[in-house]
Amino acid sequence: MKTLGFTLLTTLFLAVFSLPSFAQLKVIADGKVGIGTATPEAQLDVVGGNLQARGQFVFTGKDAAAAAEAGVLVGWGRTGTGSSAIRFYPSWTNFGSWATTFGVDGGGGGGLFHQGANTLGIVTLNTQAVGIGVNSVYKVYVNGTSGNVGINMTAPSTELELNGVATKPGGGTWTAPSDRRLKKDVKPFQDGLKQVMAIEPVFFKYNGKGGLKDDGKEYVGIIAQDMQKVAPYTITSYKRQTVESVMKEGDFLPTEVVKDEGDYLAYDANALTYMLVNAIKEQQKMIDAKDAQINAMEERLERLERLMVTLNSTTTGSQTIDLSSNGNGYLMQNQPNPFNHTTAIRYTLPEDAKNASLRIMDSNGRMLKEVKLADTKGEVTINAGELNSGSYSYSLIVDGRIIDTKQMILTK
């Protein structure tokens, strides 16, 4: 009797809610349920209004055991064109202002948009990489282990690696923090002309190894192994890895396999700028020394010309000619100049000289060395090991008077 009563009640319920005037919930013979429609096309078909849940929607797939397929389809099956989106709200009271949404508009454009108060994060919770690309190719790639970022490459070996060309408005070098307050262990950088003269620039093309494109373009640069002999601090070693995508049976997305390709050398050209600065300074010192030497030779030539005029105008008698600055002594330019081992300074003293010396001064005029001179004519040898690289002056002092001063350059 109870079974018969339950059956009658169920039949009455279905009959009532199946009538057109009560067709808010419709269950048809094959078990499909319709809300707002009397002809449901899916297991649950809702027409009009909103579908609201106070908990979670859980999608297990067609086969709950195997979970072969699961998904959320927004806009699927409709004949009209319009936008489709999934939006996230921080709270129900803030319903009017979504924080994050992703979807597609009626024209086929889509994206991920965020207007929340805090950061929009795209972060993996393990060591898997993050890639952004077009046409099924990654263009920006973040390594999941190191965090290195690659552009046009999937195995960046440094914090930022670009396989291609970067442009900067106006050209020029990139700026770098250089405030003295940010630095420590500051010491002079002295490499210059010697190192610059040893650099061998070359034309070259990349061969396709190391993740670099073999595009046939010709570049100008150096060979790291050669530069390592000249300025080893400009060369660093890095490990190159490759990433291969392997599709395994049953996987929805390919699995990335990282392989070590080997170690390569990289060149940092920053030091070359300051190497050239030092080289210019060294050359300027050489020019100054040559100018001083030329001036001394011009003075000596002028004296000789005056003496020749005197000789030509003398018709009788004989005359003794003193080429040593009219008998006051003479100081020669050191040879060689510039020098890096030893240099010789020749001098001539007046015959009546009582106290004479040769003084060596630095660029600030501070006396570094004094050599007493006893012979009327002689030569003083200066060893490079006694001085540091730089510009120096030397003077001939006779009885407290400066007879002459000249410049010399020491390079090491």
CB-facing half-sphere around the CA of 199: CA atoms within 13 A: 20
Higher-confidence position of 325 and 124: 124
- Nearest alpha-carbon partner for 333 in 394, 397, 398: 394
pLDDT at 194: 94
pLDDT at 254: 61
Q: What is the spatial distance between Cα 374 and Cα 357, in angstroms, rounded to a whole number?
A: 8
pLDDT at 185: 96
Distances (CA, A) of 370 to 51, 160, 376, 393, 395: 102, 58, 17, 12, 10
- Average pLDDT score over the chain: 80
**Domains observed in the chain:** 1-48 (no CATH), 86-115 (no CATH), 130-163+222-268 (no CATH), 275-310+324-410 (2.60.40.1930)
Q: At a CB cut-off of 8 Å and minimum separation 6, what does 129 contact?
A: 141, 142, 143, 144, 154, 243, 256
Other C-beta atoms closer than 10 Å to the C-beta of 71 total 7
| Phi, psi angles (nearest 5°) of residue 46 | -110, 125
Q: Locate 111 and state its tokens.
A: 């994206």
pLDDT tens-digit readout, 28-86: 878 788 888 888 888 888 887 777 766 666 666 665 555 456 667 777 777 778 777 77
**Does residue 283 register a pLDDT over 70?**
yes
Distances (CA, A) of 360 to 17, 224, 342, 365, 372: 117, 42, 14, 9, 12
Higher-confidence position of 28 and 322: 28
Q: At a CB cut-off of 8 Å and minimum separation 6, what does 249 contact?
A: none
CB-facing half-sphere around the CA of 238: CA atoms within 13 A: 18
- Whole-model pTM? 0.52
Amino acid sitting at position 168? K
Higher-confidence position of 2 and 175: 175
Other C-beta atoms closer than 10 Å to the C-beta of 40 total 20
| Phi, psi angles (nearest 5°) of residue 147 | 80, 0
Alpha carbon of residue 366 to chain centroid = 43
pLDDT tens-digit readout, 221-260: 999 999 999 999 999 998 887 767 666 766 656 666 777 7
**Does residue 311 register a pLDDT over 70?**
no
210 touches 240 (CB < 8 A)? yes
**Does residue 115 register a pLDDT over 50?**
yes
